[in-house]
Amino acid sequence: MTDTHCPYCSLQCGMTLRVGSSLASSGQAGSSRSRRLEVRERDFPVNEGALCRKGWTATGLRGHRERLTTPLLRDRATGELRAASWDEALDVVATRLRTLQEAHGPDTVAVFGGGGLTNEKAYLLGKLARVALRTSRIDYNGRWCMSSAASAANQALGIDRGLPFPLADIERTDVLVLVGSNLAETMPPAARHLDRLRERGGHVVVIDPRRTATAARADTVLQPVPGTDLALALGVLHLLDAAGAVDEEYVASRTTGFAAVRRTAAAWWPERVERVTGVSAGELRALAGLLAGAGTVTVLTARGAEQHSQGTATVLGWLNVALALGMPGKAHAGYGCLTGQGNGQGGREHGQKSDQLPGYRMIDDPAAREHVARVWGVDPESIPGKGLSAYELLESLGTGSRALLVFGSNIVVSAPNATRVTERLAALDLLVVADIVLSETAAMADVVLPVTQWAEESGTMTNLEGRVILRERAVTPPDGVRSDLDVYAGLASRLGSTAAFPTDPEEAFAELRLASAGGRADYAGITYDRIRAEDGVFWPCPAEDHPGTPRMFADSFATPDGRARFVDVEHAGAAEQPDADYPVHLTTGRVLAQYQSGAQTRRVRDLPDDGPFVELHPMLAARIGARDGEPVMVTTRRGSLRAPARIVDTIRPDTIFVPFHWVGANRLTNDALDPSSRMPEFKVCAAEVGLDTPSLVPRDGYSTNEGLVGRVASASERAVVGRVASASERIEIPAAHQRPGSGPTLGSPGFEARFSHTSTTGETPA
């Protein structure tokens, strides 16, 4: 039995893994390779034994037929992937990286990480980029997750920790305002806090263009036009001020900058807010009255508020509301961000972000560079400066950067304006992807490196509360795969680096502790043993005898003068507004059974995979003649998607919704960036929706039945993967899903039906 945590979202629910009995039907009774890996509940404070269906089925990728177990190299003659040894693969990568850098300079190599990587991997990936590759071009997909909230919290509170209090504190607040969060579907065990809050007389407010499963557990639901949450916040502040509900004493003693914010909010009277947001003046007054009369108020934002070209300003707008009410720093009150990815928090603290060094140090701070250089044993001058943000980095591919190393990310599905990004990936001289399966991005790679997954390796994660937890290794990995840490070490030595790249996670964590010491995210006092003994440790924790910091801001904020900052922000609206050609708002989001790009969850047999759909209101459906379950076509200025209509009265009539776990949704989304966080505007763009008639040809040739454009894995490449995954399981391609010259496309129904399989082989106790 191994106590560990779920591999998916930022709640990082505790669970126990048990290597179970042998499978009688397998004919391998008694063999360790035939043992089941079972998920058992564990009484961990964050989830109290509860898991969502993704957690319960988390072992579904173990022993999967699609699991990669040998490196793959693209054969230049045939253009197809073939199996290779680790030495050959790493030699090829190092040689080609060196050649490209000699010809074009260090920044010709870019590195792209992920918010699912452990702290140890994120830390050493940053070191690999800056020390072994000496490139400034490193960023990660967490930039597309909570970076707007991070930017806002840094500006207003002086520090970015998703929740500055344990999640359970929200049960004790009087009014909880959720702005753009559907936690009942994205992290269901957290929804019990809403129920308990309401049982004790508290009030839950949900602000979302869709009446979601979370809204069903709320007392007040407001459905603004997508992209207008900031106008709503300004209207709330206007009414609070007019009602004399601003906590003047708190504002005077604990904050700065309110005068300018007050002036801006004065121009947002309720009827103006109603015209912009679609939320009636009466609803707005009721919300303001509720907040004005509450003893404690907690505001939480999530992707719905943050993934906008005005995401940072929107979060600042709601932070201004919380500060005006005097809430941050008060018990059971304040502001927080519900981080999304499993290690979205830790992933951005320790060096994957283009502008940061470990410990949440800024890369242009001379003292920070000196500290980290000392830990790394290099000259501070040798550490490159600030690089490009995630989307800008991808935009530079093929021109500014000619090689890309990808760890823990499936860019082809998750990037905005994905057709453009796919073209940039295809323009590279060298694409290297480390993954556990042949994701859509790996299928385009020149070199694919098969790496260990959750349960096969140990490492720390930092959950949405800033609680550092430990995922423990429960089983030995399959033959042929290596950990990301092994890959870094192998590449670094081939590149001639003499710096240390530990392959043992605990050793890597010891170095991370030194590198973070004295930084904003200080992990110096956290050890694996403490994490085990204390159900996780909250950062900052500067010494082993320090208790950690579950709650922040009681006495002081993390700014130089200890005061929070009101930041004057003004509503400008979405970068792309509806017009005659694209008359509706498109918003994107998640469904309960899938996680992020779906590279993992789409392959878990016990999770429903119905593919993408287009959610629309009955009035809109009637106008275009759409019928439930029948295909409609969504078109934006960037691409088209054909998917079944799902007609519901829970969405605004002027808005459609598409989930993004499959290839398609992000071919529609807008790559307009927030000026501060560089967050793309995933959450709103202008779209046209119509019947799927033969005259409507997808703008980029894509539909849910046709799959990827670009360089897809061919039939023989899939056969390689099939042989690698299981010598006895040769992949056959259903004729119905074959196209001339290619195999079944990733994510297509035939592909999933054929290749989703089992989680019960290859489980060997560690």
| Distance from C-alpha of 541 to C-alpha of 557, rounded to nearest angstrom | 16
Of 250, 725, 198, the C-alpha closest to 450 is 725
Report the nearest approach of ligand SF4 to the CB of residue 13 (Å).
Answer: 3
Cβ distance to ligand SF4 smaller for residue 11 or 431: 11
Per-residue b or e along 311-347, where b marks 16 or more CB atoms closer than 10 Å to that residue's CB = bbbbbbbbbbbbbbbbbbbbebbbbbbbbbbbbbbbb
Helix (H) or strand (E) holding 588: strand 584-589
**Positions in 55-114 near ligand SF4 (CB under 6 A):** 55
Q: Please compute, for residue 726, the number of CA atoms within 13 A of its CA located in the half-sphere on the CB side.
A: 16
Indicate the length of the chain as a whole number: 766
Report the nearest approach of ligand SF4 to the CB of residue 8 (Å).
Answer: 4
Does residue 416 interact with ligand SF4 by CB under 6 A? no
527 Cβ contact partners less than 8 Å away, ≥ 6 residues apart: 513, 544
Choose the binding region for ligand SF4 from 45-53, 223-231, 304-312, 420-428 (rule: CB under 6 A).
45-53
Does residue 162 interact with ligand SF4 by CB under 6 A? no
Cβ distance to ligand SF4 smaller for residue 39 or 685: 39
**Angle, CA of 629, 634 and 639, to the nearest 5°:** 140
Q: Count of CB atoms within 10 A of residue 641's CB? A: 28
Interface residue with ligand SF4 among 39, 52, 337, 663 (CB under 6 A) is 52
Cβ distance to ligand SF4 smaller for residue 593 or 689: 593
Interface residue with ligand SF4 among 2, 4, 6, 441 (CB under 6 A) is 6
Interface residue with ligand SF4 among 2, 4, 12, 417 (CB under 6 A) is 12
Q: Which tokens belong to 236?
A: 């709330």
Interface residue with ligand SF4 among 2, 4, 8, 620 (CB under 6 A) is 8
Report the nearest approach of ligand SF4 to the CB of residue 502 (Å).
Answer: 27
Residue number, nearest CB to ligand SF4: 55
Cβ distance to ligand SF4 smaller for residue 49 or 400: 49
Choose the binding region for ligand SF4 from 1-9, 231-239, 645-653, 742-750 (rule: CB under 6 A).
1-9
Helix (H) or strand (E) holding 651: none
Residue spans of beta strands (DSSP E) within 249-385: 255-256, 297-301, 334-337, 356-357, 361-362
Does residue 524 interact with ligand SF4 by CB under 6 A? no
**Angle, CA of 248, 252 and 258, to the nearest 5°:** 80
Report the nearest approach of ligand SF4 to the CB of residue 453 (Å).
Answer: 14
Choose the binding region for ligand SF4 from 47-55, 231-239, 526-534, 687-695 (rule: CB under 6 A).
47-55
Does residue 591 interact with ligand SF4 by CB under 6 A? no
Interface residue with ligand SF4 among 13, 284, 373, 651 (CB under 6 A) is 13
At residue 108, what is the residue type? T
Does residue 167 interact with ligand SF4 by CB under 6 A? no
Does residue 37 interact with ligand SF4 by CB under 6 A? no
Report the nearest approach of ligand SF4 to the CB of residue 350 (Å).
Answer: 21
Cβ distance to ligand SF4 smaller for residue 157 or 470: 470
Q: Give yes or no for a cis peptide into 366 (omega within 30° of 0).
A: no
Residue 131 DSSP one-character state: I
Pairing of strands 361-362, 403-407: unpaired
Q: Which tokens belong to 407?
A: 């760890």
| Distance from C-alpha of 314 to C-alpha of 609, rounded to nearest angstrom | 33
Choose the binding region for ligand SF4 from 7-15, 125-133, 612-620, 655-663 (rule: CB under 6 A).
7-15
CA dihedral 246, 249, 251, 257 (to 10 degrees): 110
Q: By rule CB under 6 A, what count of residues binds ligand SF4?
A: 14
| Distance from C-alpha of 628 to C-alpha of 646, rounded to nearest angstrom | 5
Report the nearest approach of ligand SF4 to the CB of residue 183 (Å).
Answer: 9
**What x-and-dash track marks residues 172-211 binding ligand SF4 by CB under 6 A?**
---------------xxx----------------------
Does residue 17 interact with ligand SF4 by CB under 6 A? no
Does residue 9 interact with ligand SF4 by CB under 6 A? yes
Contact footprint for ligand SF4 (CB under 6 A) = 6, 8-9, 11-13, 47, 51-52, 54-55, 187-189
